Chains A and B, each alone.
Chain A
Amino acid sequence: MDYSSFLQMREEFSLLVVMVILLVYDIFATEKALKQFQTVALSLFTLHTLLNCVPREAFAVAGGMFQYVPMQTYIKTILNIGTLIVLLQAHKYLDEDANRVKRGEFYFLTLSTLLGMYFMISSGNFLMFFIGLETASIPMATLVAFDKYNKKAAEAGAKYILSAVFASSISVFGISLIYGSTGTLYFNDIATVFTGTPLQLMAFVFFSVGLFFKISLVPFHLWTPDVYEGSQTNITSYLSVISKGAAVFVLFTLLVKVFPKIISDWQPILYGLAVLSITVANVFAIRQQNLKRFLAFSSISQAGYILLAIISGTALGMASLVYFVLVYMFSNLAAFGVLSVIEQRTSKVQMNDYNGLYQTNPKLSFVMMLALFSLAGIPPFAGFFSKFFIFSAAAQQGFYVLVFIALLNTIISLYYYLLVIKAMFLNTNEQPIETITSDIPVKISLVFCTIGILFVGLVSTFYDQIAVFSFGM
């Protein structure tokens, strides 16, 4: 193998270059040069996003351990844009005096989780997949516990790392059984011999736990509300959008690429998980008063909806999944953006703190309203179209009952999303949150999200572009 093939992994390589530049800059730059750290970091990352947004021809390097297909460019670009929005929203937090010294670490850890997700997405071998999974989840735990003097953050960090390692060790045990029963770790070779003997089924069930944990589907979701509540809000949004988006994409490709012969076995599993996730998360979301926990349960139920796209296992399912992740990213990041601005200025996260927010902060309430409408799936916002495509992908394969259950749950979810909107617009409050002037990076990110929510649904180019490449998977 000659080393020029490393250059073919362009996305990973350029992200690594950005990381190394930022690390060196953070360590060696003078005090004066460090003032521009965030500007440099954000522009470098924007450059990286722009350089890698054009799909290329499919290829494989390292003997098939790393496989690229054009669809991966779309999901990686979506993750890049999402990370960029999160970094913009974290700008103010990282500029505070207490956090200025930790700025470099924040960027380095965030980008290394992203690098792990890249490898996870492009993997063609279980070893590569496992390394990617761990590279994505170990730095994530340090990010969750980033605020050293906050008890809640420490607690959330411990809960995250212990349950993440627990899930991934079950997953590794599953991979070892897959290896034992097939004699190979390459996805392409496994697909031909993985016929669904009892041992292989057990291996599959063990293995999939690791990914279900990352997506936080219902029996594996218990860490989610606590970790979301305890960690810093920008990290929560990163966890709920980027980490989850990468994991659902990988779950889809693995199920289609590696386990196509046992489709009749994994479809019922996903069916049960989808019904459980959507229903249980909706019921729990209704009784949440803390908005971060509320959005945690909302994101669990959204993950359940994504399973409807995965369960179909078709190209339409793939296209609707990537589209759903795109829309979900804009809506969820808008909601978390508003939440983080208000939390940083006033440290208020309870729902009744938001009473009468419209009188003092009309713009923030408006963005929050758009985001929640889009999450609930009300036309003409993007969330409606993404749900529509997902339902049609599942219905095309004959899962009518599942689609019906999901539709019923959409109505329940509308109730709790509207609770927040009612609090902001209709409820009166003698002491509403004071008027907040948000900083420019947050403004940019919120405007970007709003444009996404309004136009990604109506402008059909986005979906068409994604659908073009969905057949290659």
Chain B
Amino acid sequence: MGDLFSNFLTGSVPIEAYLGVSLIMFFAGVYGFLSRKSLLMILVSIELMLNAADINFVVFNRYLYPGQMEGFFFTLFGIAIAACETAVAIAIIINIYRNLTSVEVGEIDEMKE
């Protein structure tokens, strides 16, 4: 750990550090998706997962395949698509709020087996 910290100070962060962050972000997102009660928090959790994948792409490209640009481009497109998804999801959540005056998962149970 001390090694990691001194590397950070000298400006060379090992790839494992980035991958660790992205992995933690991803599974925090999965946990949030499964455990949160508000639709908005679920949406935030999904964003965490998407961003974790974007970090992965950039890091792999920068560290392992520095000659090419594929990972960077995927990240750019990934950010744009994530924005679209969020916009549509928020529109639908607002519509739910208008119909039910609530965005809690427990209230949205009209169709339940």
Closest A residue by C-beta to B86: A165
**B interface, over-half SS:** helix
Rounded to whole angstroms, the CA-CA distance of A230 and B96 in the bound complex is: 13
Closest B residue by C-beta to A131: B77
**A interface, over-half SS:** helix
8 A Cβ contacts from B71-94 to A: 71, 73-74, 77-78, 81, 84-85, 88-89, 91-93
Rounded to whole angstroms, the CA-CA distance of A156 and B99 in the bound complex is: 13
Residue interface bits B49-91, CB-to-A below 8 A is 1, else 0: 1101110110011001100101101100110010011001101
Known contacts: A154-B99, A229-B111. The answer to whether A173 contacts B53 by CB under 8 A is yes
Rounded to whole angstroms, the CA-CA distance of A149 and B70 in the bound complex is: 44
Known contacts: A154-B96, A157-B95. The answer to whether A184 contacts B56 by CB under 8 A is no
A8-16, A79-87, A175-183, A439-447: which lies at the interface = A175-183
- CB-CB under 8 A from A423, the residues of chain B are none
User: Is A330's beta carbon under 8 Å from chain B?
Assistant: no
B92:A145 contact, CB within 8 angstroms = yes
Residue interface bits B27-43, CB-to-A below 8 A is 1, else 0: 00110010000010011
A289 CB, min distance to chain B CBs, angstroms: 11
Closest A residue by C-beta to B94: A154
Rounded to whole angstroms, the CA-CA distance of A172 and B100 in the bound complex is: 33
A291 CB, min distance to chain B CBs, angstroms: 14
Number of interface residues of B (CB under 8 A): 42
- CB-CB under 8 A from A165, the residues of chain B are 46, 50, 85, 89
- CB-CB under 8 A from A436, the residues of chain B are none
The listed residue (B50, B77, B88) touching A141 by CB distance below 8 A is B88
- CB-CB under 8 A from A159, the residues of chain B are 108
User: Is B16's beta carbon under 8 Å from chain A?
Assistant: no
A179:B70 contact, CB within 8 angstroms = yes
A176:B64 contact, CB within 8 angstroms = no
User: Is A93's beta carbon under 8 Å from chain B?
Assistant: no
A226:B111 contact, CB within 8 angstroms = yes
Number of interface residues of A (CB under 8 A): 40
- CB-CB under 8 A from B43, the residues of chain A are 162
Closest B residue by C-beta to A186: B70
- CB-CB under 8 A from A172, the residues of chain B are 50, 53, 78
- CB-CB under 8 A from A126, the residues of chain B are 74
User: Is B110's beta carbon under 8 Å from chain A?
Assistant: yes
User: Is A161's beta carbon under 8 Å from chain B?
Assistant: yes
A161:B89 contact, CB within 8 angstroms = yes
User: Is B113's beta carbon under 8 Å from chain A?
Assistant: yes
B89:A162 contact, CB within 8 angstroms = yes
- CB-CB under 8 A from A145, the residues of chain B are 92, 95
- CB-CB under 8 A from B100, the residues of chain A are 151, 154
Residue interface bits A32-47, CB-to-B below 8 A is 1, else 0: 0000000000000000
Rounded to whole angstroms, the CA-CA distance of A2 and B97 in the bound complex is: 49
B106 CB, min distance to chain A CBs, angstroms: 12
- CB-CB under 8 A from A180, the residues of chain B are 56, 60, 64
Known contacts: A151-B100, A161-B89. The answer to whether A173 contacts B60 by CB under 8 A is no
Q: A154-B95, A158-B93 are in contact. List 15 more A-B contacts (CB 8 A).
A: A130-B74, A158-B89, A165-B89, A172-B50, A173-B53, A175-B53, A176-B53, A176-B54, A176-B60, A176-B74, A177-B56, A179-B71, A179-B74, A185-B74, A225-B113
Q: What residues of chain A have their CB less than 8 Å away from a CB belonging to chain B?
A: 126-127, 130-131, 134, 138, 141-142, 145, 148-152, 154-159, 161-162, 165-166, 169-170, 172-173, 175-177, 179-180, 183-185, 225-226, 229-230
Pairs A-B, 10 closest by C-beta atoms: A176-B56, A180-B60, A169-B49, A172-B53, A173-B53, A157-B92, A176-B53, A169-B50, A154-B96, A183-B65
Q: What residues of chain B have their CB less than 8 Å away from a CB belonging to chain A?
A: 26, 29-30, 33, 39, 42-43, 46, 49-50, 52-54, 56-57, 60-61, 64-65, 68, 70-71, 73-74, 77-78, 81, 84-85, 88-89, 91-93, 95-96, 99-100, 108, 110-111, 113
The 7 sampled A-B contact pairs (Cβ below 8 Å) are A130-B74, A151-B100, A158-B89, A170-B30, A170-B49, A176-B57, A180-B56
